Structure 1
Amino acid sequence: MTAVSDTPAPVPDPLRTAALAADLDAADLRSEPLRRLWGEEADDALARGMREPILRSIDGDSGTLATLGRLLVLGMPQPRAHVIDALPRLGVDGLVALGLAEADADTVTPTALLRPQSFVDADGVGEWWIASDLDEVALDAPLPADHVLGVGGASRTLAETIVPIEVERALDLGTGCGIQALLVARRAGTVVATDISTRALAFAEINAHLNGVTNIEFRHGSMFEPVAGEAFDLIVSNPPFVITPRVEGVPAYEYRDGGLVGDALVEQFIRSAPAHLTRNGIAQLLGNWESKAAITGLARLEAWVPAELDLWVIEREELSPLGYAELWIRDGGTTPRDPGFTPLLTAWLDDFAARGVTSIGFGYVLMRRGRLGEPLRRTERIAQPVANVGAALATGLAAQDVLAEGLPATLVVAADVTEARHLMPGDDDPSVIELRQGGGFGRTISVDPALAGFVGACDGELTVVQIAAALADLFEVPLADLWADLEPRIRSLILDGILLPGE
């Protein structure tokens, strides 16, 4: 078992945190000023775990922004006199009282990171200050088991997938540093943020105070225990979904390991969440799921969701047991050059082999309760680059609701859709016609001349019936036969966001 942190959890204090926020604002501790201070190349290097380029860029600079950059962004001790100048409202004693630093007569030593984090959502562009535990670069050692992660790749991925809807009550289950709760709070009346880690809740509460967010309630507990009997319009979760062998000697990091065997934690969330959804409520999470010789991970996952719920699963990546094990061993700070790497790799591979796991999928899961008509049951693999995923999911859900009442009378082509035609040299007729989606899921869909003609005529003026009748005349086929072929494919294009209902 990996050791726990040797520093106490931070201490949320609204008054001291407000003073800290005022100091950070006065210093302009934000992404762009920092990037200008030490340069784009050095800033990019920090994202790859290298701080030396930054240190070289600001060598000899004892100004406020450079001091706070070293202290809070890089997690490096700074002279007490410089910190006093940089934090005139909070002071060194206030920073220590918040549990974000230790200090002696000469030096202030950070016990946490505090970094600006920009975001983009349906309401625009913004930036928060996010406090979290010192990372591997600052610690110069593997992470402790109770490490509270800052804003990582998974956090950003989940943030991009959240459907941008206004809700009364939302739940962020497993809030960690609180980044998802902050995002959801922008479009929710109230947010309940839960975590099994009291250390994580302390960081999340400090981050809410730092950024002036007042509509989040923090509760301690595992899974749905803190909200027993309650229902929400939106549930989001970036749970500790990493599949970890349950054997002695394998680190169990709280931020990524839920303590269960295989993908049981993701299964538990998916089976439990529907009971906590209001009518029309949505639950979204990231997760891993295991494929076995007799059944794919996507099929296993679909079986966990009640048949009456909408389900949309997008698998973004699939790894072999070896690839998965190496990814997460390295994530914990152990490399193949370290003596502990091979025993960890053996433990992971033995665990997968014993349970018959052939591959591990990663992706997004969306569930929705209570809409009319046939439920949406969609599981798919999408490997290409994606953009504005939350908006694309919202478009798909809206299309499902429209289609429950029948095809719209008129349709228009989405603004990001283009058509590509491929011809063999010397041919007049295309051998391949493709519809290409520029945003969302970036789909490329092969169509035949009849469907291409239909899409090309969807200008919002001609009705669906008029277009179909004209195509039947053009191709000299019975309208009923043409429609039987086109209608299900038109529905798919609507669900994909290629075609949109007309005004």
Structure 2
Amino acid sequence: MSSDVPPSRSSRTDELVAKLRTDFAGFTVDAVNDLLGPVAQAALGREQSLPARLAVTQRLSASPDEPLAALIAVFVLGLEVPAERLARAVPQVSVPGLQELGLIVTAGNEPGDPVRARVDLRPYATVDALGPADWWLASDLSEVSTGRPLADDHVLGVGGASLTLARCAIRRPTGRVLDLGTGCGIQALHAARHAKHVVATDISARALHLAELNWALNAPTIGAATIEGRRGSLLEPVAGELFDQVVSNPPFVITPRSAPAAAFEYRDGGMVGDDLVRQLVESVGSVLAPGGIAQFLGNWEGRKDEGWTDRVSSWLEASGLDGWVVQREWQDPAEYAETWIRDSGQHLGKDGDDLYAAWLADFASRGVEGVGFGLITLRRPTHEGTPLRVIEERRTGPGLPWGDEVLATLERQDWLAARDDAALLAETLRVAADVTEERHHLPGAEDPSVILLRQGGGAGRVVQAGTALTGFVGASSGDIPVGRLIAALATLLEVDAQALGTELLSDVRNLVRDGLLEPVP
């Protein structure tokens, strides 16, 4: 696959994009939501456009000159409107300017001739670790707008996976960031808020074309950062280069190779099973600078002869990097097939049944019992020692690892890696302010049957603790070294101090790594 850099935009394109930006000043998420109303907006989120179409049609009938309704009709819902109505919504860039940018097609040159969008172009608002972000993003029209299954080179807009990655990625001032598989360019925009230079790659020429448009349309929000698009597969376009951060929402969907109709560039990496994610885990270290961090989404299989934790663990070992894997969802093979057949609009009729059967046969051939979805964080360590290995399952709520918490965990791992057991025994620890203790008793029992340490912030961990660990945490007030505290507990519990230390130190390290215990400076 070539790694050509897309051609630079012309000054004419930049002029038209600047005019479009002016016309779109009132085309915001809040404005769209206000016009559609909560019912229609919620229905759109479920991929049901009829309530929104009715709301916009009613507004256009009542107020033909309403610019926002025309923009929503054309660019969000994919409806046709007379050219004169759209022209009133875009007085700066004009209808011919939109056509020149490749955003619309017209049926003629008369004011009453219908026009329709060639792309989905809508406002986007979110909050990442740096605060609010408000942009406009172009992508390909969905099957909800077109009424047809997606094209093979479909460029996806912002979905749940994109939002998850954007909210979980580390946002610290840094030099070079790689956005691998940029799609419509959303992760590159987020990265440009804290990086000096972003390289964004994709195998799809169409994706890079739309991403370039999005970067130009939102250029005033990214300051002095530069974004460079390159075409190519996985790490090929950046071979031999180093980056401080890598983010990726790669084409990780596990697709049966026997069913070409199931393959789409935005989601299918062309490999068998979960090999694309495995290859990325094992090879991304080659482009990470020392201390560099990679975060990406992925799927992985759980097989009859190899559970998902064992499978992912083997990838981390092969990478040689620090690794933290959080599984956020688990689907059985049928559920997984249904999800992605429905995603492409191919779920109706015999063709849908054939795809379903191909997916199930593909999973059966490898003994797949389920597929996990989650977030992978990797770091190229700057020190010798045992690498970080955390593989866990967290579904919803505060357990979601936000970027700041990911960075804090890696920093705590560095603190631990610099201290062997003897050094840790000499340190003084205290309980983090957000940790609470829960005790559960069986009816009539004097002693608790379960003791839980619950973290209110951070990754929202809940740790089941035995008597000794509970006593250690309860006594960690920040004024007694770990070794002396263990000795005192051993006397109280009438057990051997050395044996108790062996029992507790591993748990203490985990509590420090996860932020439930804090070193006292």
Contact 2:299–2:371 (CA under 8 A) maintained in structure 1: yes
**Residue identity matched to 1:82:** R
Work out whether residues 384 and 442 of structure 1, in 8 Å CA contact, stay in contact via their aligned partners in 2: no
Q: TM-score, normalised by structure 2?
A: 0.88
Q: Is the 2:244–2:292 Cα contact (8 Å) retained in structure 1?
A: yes
In terms of fraction of residues, the more helix-rich structure is 2
Query: Which residue of structure 2 lines up, in the alignment, with residue 393 of structure 1?
Result: 406
Quote the Cα distance in structure 1 between the aligned partners of 2:401 and 2:72.
31
Following the alignment from structure 2 to structure 1, what is the Cα–Cα distance between the partners of residues 353 and 37? 39
Task: State yes or no: 1:317 paired with 2:329.
Answer: yes
Unaligned runs of 5+ in 1: 1-10
Distance 1:303 1:387, change over 3 A: closer
- 1:426 counterpart = 2:424: no
Match of 1:192 among 199, 206, 230: 199
Provide Cα deviations, 1:367-416, integer angstroms capped at 9, x if missing partner. 21133221112222333433353222222211110101223833343343
**Identity rate, percent:** 47
1:455: which partner in 2? 473
Query: What pairs with 1:298-377 in structure 2 (closer than 5 Å)?
Result: 298-305=309-316, 306=318, 308-335=320-347, 337-372=348-383, 373-377=385-389
The amino acid of 1:409's aligned partner reads E
Q: 1:90 pairs with 90, 93, 117, which one?
A: 93
The 10-residue stretch of structure 1 (76-85 or 140-149) with the greater mean CA deviation from structure 2: 76-85
The whole-number CA distance in structure 1 between the counterparts of 2:231 and 2:409 is 35
Instruction: Return the offset for 1:461.
Output: 4.5
Q: Is the 8 A contact 1:21 1:210 kept in 2?
A: yes
1:227-282 Cα shifts (integer Å, max 9, x gaps):
12111111111111111112255331111111222222222222321111111111
SS in 1 for 2:262: coil
Match of 2:226 in 1: 215
Any conservation in 2 of the 1:392–1:497 contact (CA below 8 Å)? no
Q: Structure 2: any 5+ residue segments left out of the alignment?
A: 1-8
Q: Which moved more, 1:109-118 or 1:391-400?
A: 391-400
1:12-71 per-residue CA deviation (whole Å, 9 max, x = no partner) reads 83221121111111xx21111221222122211111112222233341343111221212
Distance of 1:355 and 1:394 partners within structure 2: 36
Partner residue of 1:234 out of 245, 248, 255: 245
User: Is the deviation greater in 240-249 or in 405-414?
Assistant: 405-414
Within the candidate set 156, 161, 174, 2:163 is matched to 156
* Counterpart amino acid of residue 194 in structure 2: R
Shift of 1:497: 2.2
Output the amino acid matched with 1:446.
Q
In structure 2, how many angstroms separate the alpha carbons of the residues matched to 1:140 and 1:46? 14
1:442 is paired with a residue whose SS is coil
Within the alignment, does 1:489 sit opposite 2:517 as a pair? no
Instruction: Report the equivalent of 1:6.
Output: none
Residues 413, 513 of structure 2: 8 Å contact kept: yes
Q: In structure 1, what residue type is equivalent to 2:435?
A: V
Q: Distance in 1 between matches of 2:241 and 2:292?
A: 12
> Is residue 40 of structure 2 the alignment partner of residue 42 of structure 1?
yes
**Is the Cα contact below 8 Å between 2:283 and 2:319 reproduced in 1?**
no
Contact 1:35 1:43 in 2 (8 A): yes
Partner of 1:73: 76
What SS class does the counterpart of residue 24 from structure 2 fall into? helix
What residue in structure 2 maps to residue 166 of structure 1?
173
- Asked whether the 8 Å contact 2:292–2:380 carries over to 1, the reply is yes
SS in 1 for 2:390: strand
Q: Quick check: 1:123 aligned with 2:115?
A: no
Choose from 280, 294, 298 the match for 1:269. Answer: 280
Corresponding position of 1:225? 236
Q: Supply the RMSD in Å over aligned alpha carbons.
A: 2.2
Normalising by structure 1, report the TM-score: 0.91
